[in-house]
Amino acid sequence: MQTALPTAAAATAGTGARLPEIIRRGVEPYEASFAAMRAYTDARDGDSADQLWIVEHPPVYTLGLGADRAHVLHPHDIPVVQTDRGGEVTYHGPGQVVIYLLMDLRRHRSGARLFAREFVHNIEEAVIDTLGAYNLAGERKQGAPGIYAADGPWQGAKVAALGLKIRGNGCTYHGVSLNVAMDLAPFSWINPCGYEGLATVDMQTLGAKQARLADVQDLLANQLIARFAGMA
């Protein structure tokens, strides 16, 4: 069942711009979320609300449009789903925050527009700020989308993945995943995001033993809202 998250997201920015709604979809099979994202985007018009969907998926591998299936090394019994996002293969599973961003990038916000590069930058910054709230340092890597551990024994390991679909009309779906407290073994059965030998880590392994999925879901969602409000 979908439920609205009672946060400031339901309010309007000081400029009068309407902020995205935050919707909790609970634990949901990936295929159901994927179909619903496309249906919402197909049906939206100039008055449709931007939305952030918070979801947790049962184990699944997803492939981007240009993904090489050879990067799925040993899927075991985990389903592999072809999608229409950018990027290569990634894994979603229990203990991971997934937020889908159903946004209209051409929607005016105080005379300005939210362009794709700025959109991606703000998603990445929201992840970095979320990690920082747990005293974890995250960073970008040139040419390798996502967020990586910036220091310590896991330096360079990937902790968050980003994959988007931006249609010609400026409407987006898919989004960002942040590993909180996961079984990390399934990441070793693929070349994550197409990189052979890329280490993948979660927040608890990095030292945030107090990180709980529901708390990180709320924090990342509200960090995203704050970023979009700042651009209003």
Write out pLDDT tens, residues 124-166: 999 999 999 999 999 999 888 899 999 999 999 999 999 999 9
What pLDDT, on the 0 to 100 scale, is given for residue 109?
55
What does pTM read for this prediction?
A: 0.91
Asked whether residue 78 carries a pLDDT value surpassing 70, the answer given is: yes
Q: Which residues contact 3 (CB under 8 A, 6 or more apart)?
A: 23, 24, 26
Write out pLDDT tens, residues 20-74: 999 999 999 999 999 999 999 999 998 999 999 999 999 999 999 999 999 999 9
Asked whether residue 192 carries a pLDDT value surpassing 90, the answer given is: yes
Write out pLDDT tens, residues 166-181: 999 899 999 999 999 9
With the C-alpha atoms ordered 220, 222, 223, 229, is the resulting torsion angle positive or negative?
positive
Catalytic residue numbers read 193
